[in-house]
Amino acid sequence: MEETVFIRQTKSSRAHIGLKAHRYELPDDLVEEGAKRLAFVALMVAFIIGVTYIAFNLLGPGAAKRVDADQILLPMLILFSLFIWYAHRRKLFSNRKLIDIGYLYQIAIGAMIGLLIYQAPWPQDYILPSWSPIAVWIVTFSMLVPTTWGRAISAAVITGLMDPLTFLIMVKLGYTAIPENSHLMIQRFFPTVIAIGVVAFSCQIIYNLGAKVSEARKLGSYALQRLIGKGGMGEVWEAKHRMLARPAAVKLIRPESLGADDTRGQDRIRARFEREAQATAALQSPHTIGIYDFGTTKDGTFYYVMELLDGVDFETLIKRFGPIPAERVINLIRQACHSLAEAHDRGLVHRDIKPANLFSCRYGIEHDFVKVLDFGLVKQAEEREMGDAGLTAEGVATGTPAYMPPEMASSGPVDHRADIYGLGCVAYWLLTGHLVFENETPMLMVVDHIKTEPVTPSTRTELDVPAELDAAVLACLAKRPDDRPQTASELEALLAAVPVASEWNEKSAARWWGANLPVPTGTPAGEERA
C-alpha cells in the first residue's frame, strides 16, 4: 500500500467569493515516502560522486596540476547531497519542504552531468540516437521521488534545458565544439525531449489513478490521508474532516474479522456494530475515546471515526521506558476506572482491557491523560477466537491471551468484572514490565489464567510497591469474579487509599513528558493496533 500513489483533491469552501476553487497536492503518506526516497537518492549520489572524484581527481595521473570544472562541482554536489540526507534524518524541514528542495537538487545534478560530459571535445563516434545521461536522470528521479504533475513537468523541463545550456557554456569556454553535422545535435538532444514527455505521460496516469483512489478514500465527511496502523482486524488511517479540517483517526474493520462469512452474517454484524457504536458514542467520560462518526463502506467494511490522540499506549510506554513508579500506576489506572465506571453503568462491557487499549496522552494542557479505546467493537472477534481455539502467537503480541479473564478463557458467563481483571493485568504490566503469566504458548498462558495463582508484583520489580497496592492488584486478579472489586468505582477508591511516598500530579507528569516525549508524537489512537 505504501507504494501506491495517491493524490488528494481538496475543494475550498469559499470558492464562490473568488478564491481558488481547488488545488491538488500529495497526501501525507506519499509525501513522507517521497522524502525518504529523496534522502536515499541523495546519499547514493553522494557516494557515487565521492568515488568518482577520488578516482579521477585525487588518484589519477597529473591530478595535482589539474583544475577542471569537476574539481569544483563535485565537492559542492557531494555537500548538497549530504545536506539533503542529513536534513531528512534530523527533520530540519517538513517532508513537503524537503521535496521542494529536491526540485533544486534535480536541476543541480542535471547541470553537473552536463558540465562533466561536455568537458571533452564532442565525441563524434559516441553521438548515436541514444539517451543522454541527463535524460536518464530526469526519468529516474521522477520515478523515485513522486510529486504533483505540474511540479514534475516544471522540474523535468528545467533539468532538460541543462543539456543544451551546459553544452553551449562548455563551447564558449573552449572545452568542446559544435559538430559540423547538425543531425548529430538533434540526435543528441532529442532523447531529452522524449524523457520530458515520458515524465508528463506517467505523471498524468498517476494523477488519474490517484484522483479515483482519492474518491474511494472518502468516508462520509472524512478523507483518509495516511495509513498509520495495520493489524488482524483491519487498518487505522489518519484523516481530516473535509469541511472543518479537524484531524481524526479512522479505523476500518473487515467484516470477515468479526466472523461475518456470508451476507446474513454481515447484516447481523452490521446491526450489532451500529448498536454498539451508538452506545459508545453516547459515553461522556473524558477518559473514553471520542467517537465522531461510524458507518459501512460500499464493500461492506465497517469504519468508525475517533479523535486523534498524541501520546503512547501503555504497552509501548513500558516497552520504551520500563516499569513506572507505583504512584504513577495508581494515577493511570484510576483514570481508566473513571471511563469503565460509566460504561458499566450503561451496560457496556469492554471485554478487551489490555495495555494496547489504554492510551496516555497530552490532552489540552494536561499530561498523562488516559483514554480507553475500542469499546465493544472487538467482542465478536474474541468470541470467534475462543470458539475456534484460534490462539496464535500474534495474540500474545496484542495481549488477548495475556490479559484474558478466567471466566472468558473457560467460556463461562462474562460481565463487567472481566474488565476489572483486565485492569489488574494492566497494573501488573505497568509495575513490573512483565505479564502476569509468561509461558511458551498462548494456550498455556490461558490455562495459567484459569488455574495458576499469580505472585505479587513487588516480587518481580526493583521498584517500591506498597503492600496495599500489591493486595489491590491481586484482588483484581482473583479467579472468581465475586472475589474481585465489584465495580470500577470500588477499585478506584481502593487505589486512592494506597499510601505512596509522593503524589503523581500534573507537575510531575509534565516534567516526565518534557524529559522523555518533549514534542508532540502525532501518534493517533490505534496506531499499530488495527
In 283-398, at which residue ranges do the beta strands (DSSP E only) sit? 291-296, 302-307, 310-313, 358-363, 366-372
Q: Is 235:229 a contact under the CB 8 Å cutoff? A: yes
Cα(496)–Cα(469) distance, rounded to whole angstroms? 10
Q: DSSP per residue over 244-257, as a string?
A: T--EEEEEEE-GGG
Distances from the Cα of 513 to the Cαs of 22, 206, 405, 507, 508, in angstroms? 40, 42, 32, 10, 9
Question: What is the helix, strand, coil percentage profile of the chain, to 5?
Answer: 55, 10, 35
Q: Which of 95, 91, 29, 527 is nearest to 311 (CA)?
A: 527
Task: Respond yes or no: is residue 419 known to be catalytic.
Answer: no
Q: Phi, psi at residue 379, to the nearest 5°?
A: -60, -50
Helix (H) or strand (E) holding 50: helix 28-53
Helix (H) or strand (E) holding 240: strand 234-241
Roughly what angle, to the nearest 10 degrees, separates helices 95-117 and 28-53?
30
Q: Which of 28, 29, 70, 352 is catalytic?
A: 352
Q: In the structure, how many helices (H) and strands (E) does the chain have?
A: 17, 11
Cα(228)–Cα(529) distance, rounded to whole angstroms? 9
* Eight-state DSSP code of residue 357: G
Q: Which of 387, 385, 386, 353 is nearest to 370 (CA)?
A: 353
36 three-state secondary structure? helix
**Paired strand residues for 296:** 302
Task: Work out the angle at residue 212's Cα, subtended by the Cα atoms of residues 210 and 215, and round it to the nearest 5 degrees.
Answer: 110
User: What CA dihedral angle connects 465, 467, 472 and 473, to 10 degrees?
Assistant: 40
Helices (H), 255-321: 263-281, 314-321
Distances from the Cα of 405 to the Cαs of 89, 126, 422, 458, in angstroms? 44, 77, 7, 22
Return the active site residues: 352
